Chains A and B, each alone.
Chain A
């Protein structure tokens, strides 16, 4: 322990701590600007300067390690003067007219709408007005004037990327975004470019963030102290009045998030002292307030859809369910709350329905992921799973929370951002991923039939030596994995509540359910698959209009509007808290089902739903490409979806980032088949007929096309196909 004195207070500190950290812990205020918790101190803004007894000049406290017997003063007239001077210099490059205007209060009263201007010349024009660290500091340091000439950079506002905009005229070069992107996210999209007065934060060659491969996690936006980086959706919605701590249910990681609310509107969702991904950061607010949402029950009367009251809707449901009872097929999305899933099972029991299925990709040996269980010298082998797009918060934890830097090996025929950052990328031919695994773990010499060079296999074997090996894979994307016992298999299912559903069991797979001829009535809870035949009645319970023709639509609330819980990949029960009241007439899933159960005279209380035997669809045979079907179709799970709706169909930003509605075609193959970028193509297989627009890329291997699964495709798995242009 180290003893030091700060502002005449005796304070104990640990070795290696900085003076700033110790002072903050003891409630001593030192102004900061470039300092950000969790980032390596930078010492750029010089606002945190302190005086140390015996030292002739003030020093920045954020980079000053504590020493025994140090006597520190944080608030002297000299420091105040210097800090003010530093901030004035910083402000001379930041539009500061409003900051030092003496009519500020009157202005706020009379000029409410002025802020919706295109260019920010002062705080009144800025989206971050009232939530700005510069404003706070100006007030705290008592700055009334800026004695320097104001220099405006006159740069164009960068609006061409999805999700957030950048106005570097407001940037004060604190470097928080740069350090966040490099140190914490490990992405390195942003850096300082050029030198001296021309220094700017930006990307290489001024490429757009999309071009340079940004994943839009939004961590840079959240650390920006000014309005230089701002969330496009929430920009003019006003400052949030309160926030609700809840869980993001868009994928199986279930990150803790804060939903920021103003009146009954979700303004934005931000991380809760953790790292999240683009879905949780930018996907939730536009999803909740999406213009396509249906917020009133709709009943088909003749050919017309009519808005009805809940009573009428319930009457219809109860009549139909009473009529068909066991002949009802229930298909539910895993993205419901646990409480809703329980009541679905309860209802199915009451109806004696033996046809309950979910759209989640399951595996029977699913176990909770123990993040603390990773010990020692680790190597992660990742098969056919793009962890950067799908599980980035998890990947960050795997990368950063270990004492010894773990090694990563990727086995995947498809290129992704992940392959560029890992230690070794083995790119086999399609369908030979399992063979590569065999080669990696083989004791004896084996014949190498994959496209991976023997040298690379040897490199892989060297990496695996004497290490704890973990195999990470998405069970949807790769099947039939066999590895030696000392390798721990960790299936990463993309949809939340997978562990819950495995525990409860399901009666059949989605495909089997839809092929069952005995079903007359379909009850679809938040997922709309492609239907092969007609049903007597189809009831849909969802937030968005489904792609099937339905008889009754029951509008449900999203996870931002309900209370409940979900279970994530680690097996943790995470709370879902109501941030806003359900929109319109929409209600929570469990309320709707409870009402139906009540009307069916089913007592839901104190009754445990019966367990069902989990049946997972049979694995399709690995067929080889031939003359008739010369192209490989790769089907990957789409983890960018909500209740079976693609986020890229609902939001323009996701459409640009992901484009899940497109089929990826290899560049050379496209040239051979004369497929143009954006043109519609037909994908024809033995039992398959898809029409989708093409996107040409070099990520997928030659002679192959890749689609992200969507329920509207029906039964589709990786298989040989024929590709034709639609003219």
Chain B
């Protein structure tokens, strides 16, 4: 809660900055813990339902713990045309989860987005903010292997 308090102080306890506050908390904890939201509600004298409403509105916020690495597959029109569905299938198969879920070893969270605005690179897979353009089904394994190797080390 100290970390949340620091975040709130940085934003000068302003209710209008709630989205930034939630973003910072998410960076800190990798998701939005219930206790943190309750604390924010108490300190800002803002209703918990309102905060929860904001947290559930934006797809960028997660209310469940997320994996160490965030894997985002773009399912926009361009990516879709160039085979993103197959790429997603392969990733789901490899990780053993469906989109929106975290692997049981807490290593990966898989998500889909509707467009990243980099259609020239389609299909795109983003892992931890690193863009991998023109991904093919064959390249998926290689891509993910790197993270498994890192974990083993």
The residues of A with any CB-CB pair to B shorter than 8 Å are: 182, 187-195, 202-205, 212, 420-421
Contact = CB atoms under 8 A, between A and B. Distances in A.
B53 A193 contact: yes
B57 A188 contact: no
A195 B49 CA distance: 14
B48 A212 contact: yes
Interface in B39-76: 42, 45-53, 56-59
Contacts of A192: 53, 57
A421 B46 CA distance: 9
B57 A195 contact: yes
Contact of A190 (B49, B51, B57, B58): B49
Given A182-B47, A188-B50, A205 B34 contact: yes
A212 B46 CA distance: 13
7 contacts: A192-B53, A202-B49, A203-B48, A203-B49, A204-B52, A205-B34, A212-B48
Q: Give the bracket for the number of chain B residues in contact with chain A.
A: 10 to 19
Contact of B47 (A189, A193, A195): A189
Contacts of A420: 42, 45
B122 interface: no
Residues of A contacting B: mostly: mixed
Interface in B11-62: 34, 37, 42, 45-53, 56-59
A420 B42 CA distance: 7
Contacts of B34: 205
Contact of B56 (A187, A189, A193): A193
A212 B52 CA distance: 12
A71 B62 CA distance: 49
A256 B40 CA distance: 38
Nearest to A423: B45
Given A205-B34, A420-B42, A188 B47 contact: yes
B45 A191 contact: no
B121 to A, nearest CB: 27
A22 B37 CA distance: 43
Contacts of A182: 47, 50
Contacts of B56: 193-195
Contacts of A191: 47, 49-50, 52-53
Contacts of B53: 191-193, 204
A288 to B, nearest CB: 34
Contacts of A190: 49
A182 B48 CA distance: 12
Contacts of A205: 34, 48, 52
Contacts of A188: 46-50
Contacts of A202: 49
A517 B137 CA distance: 97
Contacts of A194: 56-57
Nearest to B34: A205
Given A188-B46, A195-B57, A204-B49, 19 more contacts: A187-B47, A188-B48, A189-B47, A189-B49, A191-B49, A191-B50, A192-B53, A193-B49, A195-B58, A202-B49, A203-B52, A204-B47, A204-B48, A204-B52, A205-B48, A205-B52, A212-B48, A212-B49, A421-B45
Contacts of B46: 188
A191 B53 CA distance: 6
Contact of A204 (B37, B45, B59): B37
Between B37, B49, B51, B56, the greatest number of chain A beta carbons within 10 A of the residue's beta carbon is seen for B49
Contacts of B48: 188, 203-205, 212
B39 to A, nearest CB: 12
Contacts of A195: 56-59
A268 B109 CA distance: 52
Return the 10 tightest CB-CB contacts between A and B, nearest first: A188-B47, A204-B52, A191-B53, A204-B48, A191-B49, A204-B49, A194-B56, A195-B57, A193-B56, A203-B49
Contacts of B49: 188-191, 193, 202-204, 212
A644 B2 CA distance: 48
A204 B57 contact: no
A22 B51 CA distance: 36
Contacts of B47: 182, 187-189, 191, 204
B42 A204 contact: no
Nearest to B41: A204
Contact of B52 (A187, A193, A421): A193
A34 B122 CA distance: 43
A191 B42 CA distance: 17
Nearest to B42: A420
A194 B52 CA distance: 9
Contacts of B51: 204
A487 B30 CA distance: 50
A190 B48 CA distance: 9
A194 B56 CA distance: 5
A212 B41 CA distance: 12
A425 B56 CA distance: 31
Contacts of B52: 191, 193, 203-205
A212 B42 CA distance: 13
A588 to B, nearest CB: 44
A284 B48 CA distance: 31
B2 to A, nearest CB: 19
Nearest to A196: B57
A214 B45 CA distance: 15
A202 B47 CA distance: 12
B141 to A, nearest CB: 34
B33 to A, nearest CB: 12
Between A182, A189, A191, A193, the greatest number of chain B beta carbons within 10 A of the residue's beta carbon is seen for A191
B136 to A, nearest CB: 31
Contacts of B58: 195
A522 B120 CA distance: 93
A148 to B, nearest CB: 24
Contacts of B50: 182, 188, 191
Between A187, A188, A203, the greatest number of chain B beta carbons within 10 A of the residue's beta carbon is seen for A188
Between B37, B42, B46, B48, the greatest number of chain A beta carbons within 10 A of the residue's beta carbon is seen for B48
